[in-house]
Structures are given as C-alpha cells and as structure tokens.
C-alpha cells in the first residue's frame, strides 16, 4: 500500500467548461489537486450552492478506475500526454499570473491576468489595428477558466506583470 492509498477518497464535483456549456462528473479522489493532475481542462467545483443543486444524473467514477466515462477519458488521455513534458504544472501553484495568448488565425492578442482557478481577473485585447481595450469580469457574460494551470505550454505564454500593467494602463475601457 502506498501513502497515497492511505488517504481516503472523497466525492468531488468536476466540470469541463467549454464556454457555452460543460460536462459534469462526480469523481472519487484523494484531493482536488489529484483531479487537476489527472484530467486536463477541468475544475473542481467548490461552491456549496452549485454542489447542492448537482442532483441530476451524473456519471460517477473513481479516479483510479481503468476506464473513464466519455469526455473524461479524453481529458485524462490529454493530461497523460502532458505529464512528462517540460513545463508541466510549472505554474500550478501560482495565485496569479499574466499571459499573452492568440488563437489560430485570429490576429487579436489577449493579455490576461489569471487567478489560481484559471479564470481571467483582467484582460487587455490588442487588435490588429492597434487598439487596446481593457475589461474585467463585470464586462463578460461568462468567465470560464481560460487556462489550465498544469498545461506545459502555459509557461511559454507567461509575460511579466509589468508588461501586463503597462498595457492595462494604456488601454481604454472596452465600453468607452
């Protein structure tokens, strides 16, 4: 028996939020961190009101099970592929970090201040035309986690806090 096996498992509500919806599961695990280390792009829901309302029929799985339900299986496979890469979990224990992101062919660049749950706290959008727009959670209808703090690529996107602050101060509010 390993020392990890001696820790009793608890039931956690787990969400993979993909922006306009999400997939939910009950996961038996030793800790929230074990879940985040095992499955990519998930969050462990801690809001007691949300947990109390989660009475719908969800798959329940043991974190040590040989197979996972659909959806969670792919998130586990993704994390398994990341685990040995340089940068894996390098930023996982940060309270706050600043990142620069662009997506695919979109010429827009996003500078984001991100909290320990992977959600944006503040954001500056740099457009192709050179406009800089800043916003906060009050400006967004949704604020799902935008980064997986265990993702080995995250360290490549990190920028200094001073760079983010300079952009924040020079940007105009998105509604101005």
Confidence grade of residue 141 (pLDDT, cut at 50, 70, 90): confident
When mean pLDDT is compared across 17-21, 89-93, 110-114, 167-171, the lowest value belongs to: 17-21
- Tell me: do 11 and 75 sit in the same domain: yes
What's the confidence (pLDDT) of residue 43?
A: 95
106 pLDDT band, cuts 50/70/90, is confident
Same domain, 78 and 100: no
Same domain, 50 and 120: no
Please report whether residue 90 resides in a domain.
no
**pLDDT for res 2:** 57
Q: For residues 71 and 56, give the distance between their C-alpha atoms in angstroms, rounded to a whole number.
A: 17
Q: Specify if 68 maps to a domain.
A: yes
Q: How much is the average pLDDT of 112-130?
A: 94
- The last residue of one of the domains, among 48, 82, 116, is 82
Question: Which of 23, 50, 82 marks a domain boundary?
Answer: 82
Dihedral sign, Cα of residue 73, residue 19, residue 123, residue 136: negative
Predicted local distance difference test score (pLDDT) of residue 5:
62
Task: Output the pLDDT for position 19.
Answer: 73
Q: What is the rounded distance in angstroms from the CA atom of residue 127 to the CA atom of residue 88?
A: 30
CA-CA-CA-CA dihedral for 63, 68, 72, 78, to nearest 10 = 90
> Which is higher by pLDDT, 56 or 47?
47
> Would you say residue 130 lies in a domain?
yes
- 91, part of any domain: no
**Domain count across the chain:** 2
pLDDT at 27 over 60: yes
User: Considering 82, 105, 130, which residue would you say is the last residue of a domain?
Assistant: 82
CB 7 within 8 A of CB 31: yes
d(CA 123, CA 111): 6
Is residue 176 scored above 60 in pLDDT?
A: no
Mean pLDDT of the 69-91 span: 96
Q: Which domain holds residue 139?
A: 96-173
Same domain, 73 and 35: yes
The Cα-based distances of 123 to 12, 71, 161 in angstroms read 30, 30, 12
Burial class for 101, CB neighbours closer than 10 Å (0-12, 13-18, 19+): middle
The predicted model gives 112-116 an average pLDDT of 96
CA atoms within 13 A on the CB side of 117: 14
Q: What is the pTM of this model?
A: 0.87
R_g of the chain, CA atoms, integer Å: 18
Please report whether residue 20 resides in a domain: yes
Q: 83 vs 29, 36, 87, CA distance in Å?
A: 18, 11, 9
Domain assignment present for residue 89? The answer is no
43, 17 Cβ separation under 8 angstroms: yes
Question: Which of 46, 52, 45 shows the shortest CA–CA distance to 22?
Answer: 45
Residue 44 has pLDDT above 60, yes or no: yes
């Amino acid at each position: 028996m390993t020392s990890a096996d001696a820790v009793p498992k608890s039931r956690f509500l787990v969400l993979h939020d993909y922006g306009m919806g999400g997939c939910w599961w009950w996961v038996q695990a030793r800790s929230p961190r074990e879940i985040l280390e095992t499955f990519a792009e998930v969050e462990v829901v801690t809001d007691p009101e949300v947990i109390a309302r989660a009475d719908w029929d969800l798959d329940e799985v043991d974190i040590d099970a040989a197979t996972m339900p659909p959806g969670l299986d792919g998130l586990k496979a993704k994390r398994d592929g990341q685990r040995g890469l340089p940068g894996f979990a390098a930023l996982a224990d940060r309270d706050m970090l600043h990142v620069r992101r662009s997506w695919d062919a979109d010429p827009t660049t996003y500078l984001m201040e991100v909290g320990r749950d992977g959600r944006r706290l503040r954001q500056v959008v740099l457009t192709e035309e050179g406009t800089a727009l800043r916003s906060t959670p009050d400006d967004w209808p949704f604020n799902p986690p935008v980064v997986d703090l265990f993702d080995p690529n995250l360290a490549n996107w990190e920028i200094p806090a001073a760079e983010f602050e300079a952009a924040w101060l020079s940007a105009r509010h998105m509604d101005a």
